[in-house]
Amino acid sequence: MALISKMTSLPGNHNPESVPAVGASGKGRWLECALAAACLLLLTGGPAPGVNEAHYLVQARHYWNPGWCGGDFFLQSQDVHHVFFWTIGWLTQWLSLPAVAWIGRFAAALLLADSLVRLCWTLHRQPGTALLIVALYVTLLKWTHMAGEWVVGGVEAKSFAYALVFYGMAELVKGRWRRVWPWTGAAAAVHVLVGGWATLAALLCWVASRDRMPLGKMWPSLVAGGAVSLVGVLPALALAGGVDAATAGEASMIYVYERLSHHLLVSRFETLLVLRHVAALLVAGILVVGLRAWTSGPLRRLCLFSGAAVLIAMVGALLDLLLPRGELEAGLLRFYWFRLSDAMVPLLVSLLLVQLAVQFRQHSQRMARVVVVGCLLLVLAHCLGTLAGRISDPRPDADRLTLPGNQAVAHQRNEIYWQWRNTCDWIRENTEPDALFVTPRSQQTFKWYAERGEVVNWKNVPQGAADLVGWWQRVEELIPDLEYGFYSMEMDKLKERMRHYGAEYLVTSYGSRFRSLLMDRVYPADGVYSLFEVYRLEP
């Protein structure tokens, strides 16, 4: 109730233009940053590995130690996240992957919290307000995305890139245009798509602003931001280098239509996800109109930036719906047109809801309290849902989403998880460090736990055009069936392909049918029950 009282006691004629500098109360801001970081970790941080940590952190470890998981096709492919590997990956030389994951999470949470608090304080300086906005943002981000974008969660390159975008947005909202472009350029250096779309949105915002800075005064800053972005842009451009047009087109088709359509094609998004994002857009529109947000400089620029993100998503949707399926559409839609809208719409709604409480204070303190209590209830519902989910299924997110039987009842899920961990532990302790494995399609944590290379992994899709085509060939030859992976293959053909790719071992789940193979079962020992089995291919 203290937070409600503080917020609703703000002056009714609150003017965002007159907000003092962010540094005016350093102790208060740092305390709020610490609380916001704790909020981010509590609401999003489960056991390691998170959904994408088993993808990016194993890359980071291999980047610094190329002999680790030697022969793994994915780890030897091209990648663009060199800044992430240099800032976080070096820790894998001395620490375990879970330890690096948690260090990275703390670092990302602190940076995101500081950037979000700085953005919030450009509009609202009352203590506790930024904390509420951050908690509400994380809640709405989870409940309103349509393309699967997330900002806060496990550690990867875009966690830091979004923090840099928020720093740039804080400068944009204050009208300090020359400070915007170095921030978005730095974001592009860390994650080229996050920073690239943010830069485009900021440019569109600048074009539509009434008080925009003349280009003649801003161009040195633009050049500086562009120069910094080259750290991420040049490796991204190199992904398509060295291949002919046919290979590049095939790679785009695989990437967009076969592997990542759930992120890239609005026509393949779940209807419910699209509807709830549209609902969030409608709420944002109502708040913008009701608050006359376009009349205030800071709020107007915030709305313009978010509107630019939505406009980018609308262009992506039109490209998907109007262009025929083919290499042209795939080449255009592989750039995640919807991710910035996913990230910005809930942020805009969170900021405007708090602004609504401030404006209601002019007429009715009761209505202001209703808005704040409603926001708190949303956050509480998210907290309770997250806590209930962790209690009912304490497995790491990377395993919850992909292990066989993830829809089973609780005791079966836990048994599958621990049997998988035991199998991977045995492999790590009893096989050669450079051994190569064929693994079940429905998992993504083999390298994390077993520390051995795989011939192919469905989750670990390469970025380079040539590597992507090679990855798809391996998928079709070794794990073609969406549900059963290699279980649908003829046994002789499976063994032939294992030899072709240099695989020495086969990991099966529920693999009794493989006991008739001319392979030696090396795990588990005779008479020992295990849901997973390991076979060694004879020379």
How many whole angstroms separate alpha carbon 391 and alpha carbon 290? 41
pLDDT of residue 409: 66
Q: What are phi and psi of 458, to 5 degrees?
A: -65, -40
* Most trustworthy range by pLDDT among 172-181, 211-220, 487-496: 172-181
Whether 503 shows a pLDDT value over 80: the answer reads: yes
Whether 381 shows a pLDDT value over 90: the answer reads: yes
**What digits encode the pLDDT tens for the residues 192-244?**
999 999 999 999 999 998 888 888 889 999 999 999 999 999 999 998 888 89
* 11-35 average pLDDT score: 56
Q: Which helix (H) or strand (E) holds 505?
A: strand 505-509
Number of alpha carbons in the 13 Å side-chain half-sphere of residue 89: 21
Predicted TM-score (pTM) of this structure: 0.92
Inter-residue contact 41 to 106 (CB < 8 Å): yes
**3-class DSSP assignment, residue 508:** strand
Instruction: Name the more confident of 402 and 328.
Output: 328
Tokens of 382: 């998210």
How many whole angstroms separate alpha carbon 45 and alpha carbon 109? 10
pLDDT of residue 401: 80
The band of 24, judged by pLDDT with boundaries at 50, 70 and 90, is very low
**What digits encode the pLDDT tens for the residues 330-357?**
999 999 999 999 999 999 999 999 989 8
